[in-house]
Amino acid sequence: MVNTISLLGSTGSIGRQTLDVCREQGIRVAALTARSSIELLEQQARAFRPQLVAVYDLEPALELARRLADLKIEVAYGLDGLRRAASLPESEAVVTAVVGMAALWPTMAAVEAGKRVAFANKETLVCAGELVMEAARRYGAEIIPVDSEHSAIFQCMQGCRDRGEVKRLVLTCSGGPFYGLGRAELAKKTKADALRHPNWSMGEKITIDCATLMNKGLEYIEAMRLFRVAPEQVSVVIHRQSIIHSMVEFTDGAVLAQMGTPDMRLPIRYALTYPERRKSEQPPLDLLNCPPLTFAPPDLEAFPCLKMAMDCAKAGGTCCTVLNAANEEAVELFRREMIPFGEIPELAAGALEKIPNISRPSMEEILDADRRGREFVRENIPFH
């Protein structure tokens, strides 16, 4: 159990739920960070009284400093500010609730400071997971997943003393709002349709990723990085009810599953209280009133993003970074209603085809692949 944390991305969906958990468990928050959202950040700073608040952009940082002038709270800005928040000596753990590859530098700062990292941000693990995990080993940083599937797997693995006993990780997937549709119907879907997730309430980027199933693809790569397993040891099963959060199959045939209501506060709480389990006010899972649990294979033809991510996972190297970068850019264009839904996989596929893969990349090569993936999408926006 940790007593003090730094929270990166406090104004987002995971960030706000992390603060609920801190309130519930009496965990102190020493640093808050966000990109902008000054009003909410001010409220959070007044409620939690951190010693440092870091804002990515300069203008909102100056505005926040004016607003907090009556309190003894330091306001920092830019990447430096985020890095400082991530490596604050007072904080035992850092929650990475920033969306996108932008979390890479503050995450590395937390790892290099030897913190417990409660990892919500999946994009950095997809792009630079091998380097992040290697640095974690070197600096003695403890990496604990927050993503519900990976937290479920982590929980199922407690008590497993020999990783050789793990046969397969089974990621469950709700199927998103467009489950059962074919490619032609999918192509016409709007932003409002894509933001209607059946079971979870989350930030816009991840909600759109759930509609394309890219989210499950990113999680496939995330699982390989976190648990150091081969791609053949990870599989995906559609489970519409989101009650089983994921499973681990062991070599003796036993399959352990972690179940619960779809509420991110559970994996967040576990990442902060681990190895303990603490009481919560969360309503328990009511098995007698839950819908029947169903399982089906994913439709890789209708949802090519998942297939592309699985192929990148198998190939390894910078293609995972290119896929993520192209997806981040394409999702941003879709959010701004500049491209149709069906264009997201097209742009990602185009970037993968155009940009050569480099295996065992250095950090520079990863950053270059990220830049090239984004450039490809910006230069290939189709006219409609």
Tell me, residue by residue from 349 to 368, as one string, x for binding to ligand NAD by CB under 6 A and - for no binding. Answer: --------------------
97 binds ligand NAD (CB under 6 A): yes
Give 149 or 329: the residue with its C-beta nearer to Mg ion.
149
**Residue 15: Cβ-neighbour burial (10 angstroms; 0-12, 13-18, 19+):** buried
Q: Which stretch binds ligand NAD (CB under 6 A): 132-140, 201-209, 239-247, 345-353?
A: 201-209
Q: Which stretch binds Mg ion (CB under 5 A): 111-119, 148-156, 237-245, 315-323?
A: 148-156
Enumerate residues 6+ apart whose C-beta is below 8 A from 43.
none
Torsion, Cα of 114, 97, 359, 213 (10° steps)? 150
264 binds ligand NAD (CB under 6 A): yes
Where b means 16+ CB within 10 Å and e means fewer, 345-364 reads bbbbbbbbeebebbeebeee
For residues 148 and 258, give the distance between their C-alpha atoms in angstroms, rounded to a whole number.
10
Give 88 or 306: the residue with its C-beta nearer to Mg ion.
306
One of 63, 130, 147, 343 touching ligand NAD (CB under 6 A):
147
123 binds Mg ion (CB under 5 A): no
One of 5, 12, 305, 320 touching ligand NAD (CB under 6 A):
12
Q: Which stretch binds ligand NAD (CB under 6 A): 115-123, 272-280, 318-326, 376-384?
A: 115-123
217 binds ligand NAD (CB under 6 A): no
In whole angstroms, how close is the CB of 33 to ligand NAD at the nearest point?
6
One of 63, 123, 147, 332 touching Mg ion (CB under 5 A):
147
Q: Which stretch binds Mg ion (CB under 5 A): 81-89, 144-152, 234-242, 278-286?
A: 144-152
CA distances for 213 relative to 145, 150, 300, 333, angstroms = 20, 16, 9, 17
For residues 64 and 278, give the distance between their C-alpha atoms in angstroms, rounded to a whole number.
34
104 binds ligand NAD (CB under 6 A): no
For residues 236 and 220, give the distance between their C-alpha atoms in angstroms, rounded to a whole number.
8
Give 14 or 53: the residue with its C-beta nearer to ligand NAD.
14
Give 147 or 370: the residue with its C-beta nearer to Mg ion.
147
In whole angstroms, how close is the CB of 327 to ligand NAD at the nearest point?
11
- As given in the structure block, the two tokens for residue 187 are 């192509």
Please identify the residue of the shown chain whose CB is closest to the bound ligand NAD.
12
Backbone phi and psi for residue 65, each to the nearest 5 degrees, phi listed first? -60, -40
203 binds ligand NAD (CB under 6 A): yes
In whole angstroms, how close is the CB of 209 to Mg ion at the nearest point?
9
123 binds ligand NAD (CB under 6 A): yes
Q: Which of 307, 131, 130 is nearest to 216 (CA)?
A: 307
Residue 171 near residue 220, CB atoms below 8 Å: yes
Give 106 or 356: the residue with its C-beta nearer to ligand NAD.
106
**Residue 47: Cβ-neighbour burial (10 angstroms; 0-12, 13-18, 19+):** exposed
For residues 250 and 156, give the distance between their C-alpha atoms in angstroms, rounded to a whole number.
10
Q: Which stretch binds ligand NAD (CB under 6 A): 135-143, 157-165, 203-211, 353-361?
A: 203-211
One of 2, 27, 202, 312 touching ligand NAD (CB under 6 A):
202
Report angle CA 149, 273, 293 to the nearest 5 degrees.
30
244-250 and 166-173: which strand pairing?
antiparallel
269 binds ligand NAD (CB under 6 A): no
Residue 122 near residue 192, CB atoms below 8 Å: no
- Select the binding partner of residue 98 from Mg ion, ligand NAD, none (C-beta < 5 to 8 A, by kind): ligand NAD
9 binds ligand NAD (CB under 6 A): yes
Residue 256 near residue 246, CB atoms below 8 Å: no
Interface contacts to Mg ion, rule CB under 5 A: 147-149
Which parts of this chain interact with ligand NAD (CB under 6 A)?
9-15, 34-35, 37, 56, 82, 97-100, 102, 120-123, 147, 200, 202-203, 205-206, 264
